[in-house]
Amino acid sequence: MSQPFTPDVALLQLRGSAQASLHQEAACAARQRFGPRVFVRAVVEVSNFCRENCAYCGMRRANRNLARYRAAHEPLAELLLKHLPSSVTDINIQAGEDPVAVRETVLPLLRTLRRETALGLSVCLGTLDAVLCNELQAAGASLYIIKFETADPLRYATLQAPGKLSERLLAIRQLADSGWHVSSGFIAGLPEQSPTQLLANLTLADTLPLSGCSVSPFIPGDETPLAGTPLADLELTLNTMASLRLMRPDWVIPAVSALNLAGQSDGYSRGLRTGANLVTINLTPENFRDNYLLYKRDRVIMNEERILSALASEGLSPSKQSLADFFRANRPVAHLRPPTLFPNPA
């Protein structure tokens, strides 16, 4: 049996031919596990109301310049039932942390999609109470996306991320314990983040009961306290993605749209070359997109044409199996090792 892959700081800093070899090895690991097929999901962003105040997110509650919206259930159902791209097997419903939208929009939409389709259904809605999470699960969702963003509890607090890091990690574990497939993620290249701190994100992710994990390059968001800080180094982000793939060949790892913001035109395709095996088509109605402000208003909208072109350029093709079906057949075994974190503040 081969030894588990253990990433280190030196790998995160590779450049040149050594970096190319790392990325090729990661891509091969993904192809050996998943073949040339990549999962294709669609996302709809149903609300930009948010009760949190994360310093890296434009939807933070302190942003008074944002036109807030909650999409209605009926037009979204019409869109997804009658105009869904043929390559899509899964829908992700995403919002700021807004329990009102969960009750008024997300739950009815999930029930409609579960009744009318065989699509896999996932949600990315923040930290919600157990009652709402159970209702979402009963309505048909099976994958919960909840990111921890950084493994450093001091930095987590400084960034005004939701609650405490310990609470976020507890939420991840409780979701997995209650039957959800859970995907998490973290930010690479945060201001003043050292390579050692970035490596700690990989170590923490490996201790959690996850089905997948993302690496998002830091993009200084419009109308946030971090707006004037440098964006992440794409090479560092890609090396982290490759290390994540080699560490966990069994995970679903997305190519995030922010890779194009960090790397101009080829960032997304390069993400696929590091072993990413999930892509996302944005189906948020155009009248809402500019105000779903995670990073910048000049977003890179990944439509079906761009997605399929990126896949074809890398010799890949859409999976015919949904994420939901894959996860049902391949539930991961939770790690028993305790998480390795920076010391908690006194």
Per-residue pLDDT of the chain (346 residues; tens, 9 = 90+): 467 899 999 999 999 999 999 999 999 999 999 999 999 999 999 999 999 999 999 999 999 999 999 999 999 999 999 999 999 999 999 999 999 999 999 999 999 999 999 999 999 999 999 999 999 999 999 999 999 999 999 999 999 999 999 999 999 999 999 999 999 999 999 999 999 999 999 999 999 999 999 999 999 988 999 999 999 999 999 999 999 999 999 999 999 999 988 866 688 999 999 999 999 999 999 889 888 988 766 677 889 999 999 999 999 999 999 999 999 888 654 443 333 333 332 2
Q: Look at residue 217 and tell me if it is in a domain.
A: yes
Residue 176 and residue 207 in contact, taking contact as beta carbons nearer than 8 Å: no
3-state secondary structure of 192: coil
Where residue 51 sits, what CATH number does that domain have? 3.20.20.70
At 140, is the secondary structure helix, strand, or coil? coil
User: Number of structural domains, the chain?
Assistant: 1
The whole-number pLDDT of residue 331 equals: 67
CA distance 144 to 93: 10
**Per-residue confidence (pLDDT) for residue 266, from 0 to 100:** 83
pLDDT tens string 81-106:
999 999 999 999 999 999 999 999 99
CB 180 within 8 A of CB 144: yes
CA angle at residue 3 from 331 to 239, to 5 degrees?
80
Please tell me the predicted confidence (pLDDT) of residue 2: 64
- pLDDT on residue 332: 54
Q: In this structure, which amino acid lies at residue 118?
A: A
Please tell me the distance from the alpha carbon of residue 19 to that of residue 255, in angstroms, as a whole number: 18
227 assigned to some structural domain: yes
Query: Which burial class, exposed, middle or buried, applies to 195 when counting CB atoms under 10 A from its CB (0-12, 13-18, 19+)?
Result: middle
Specify if 1 maps to a domain. no
In whole angstroms, give the CA distance from residue 186 to residue 5. Answer: 19
Tell me whether residue 3 is in a domain. no
| Position 336 in a domain | no
> Tokens at residue 160, please?
């005004």
Closest by CA position to 175, among listed 342, 334, 339: 334
Its domain, for residue 192, covers 9-329
Q: Do 41 and 280 meet the contact criterion of CB atoms below 8 Å apart? A: yes
Both tokens assigned to 61: 């509650």
Token pair of 42, please? 């669609």
Q: Does 25 fall in a domain?
A: yes
DSSP character at residue 343: P
pLDDT tens track for 215-270 = 999 999 889 999 999 999 999 999 999 999 999 999 999 999 999 888 666 889 99
CA–CA dist 49, 43 (Å, integer): 17
Question: Model-level pTM?
Answer: 0.94
Torsion from C-alpha of 292, 290, 276, 247, nearest 10 degrees: -40
Is residue 337 in a domain? no
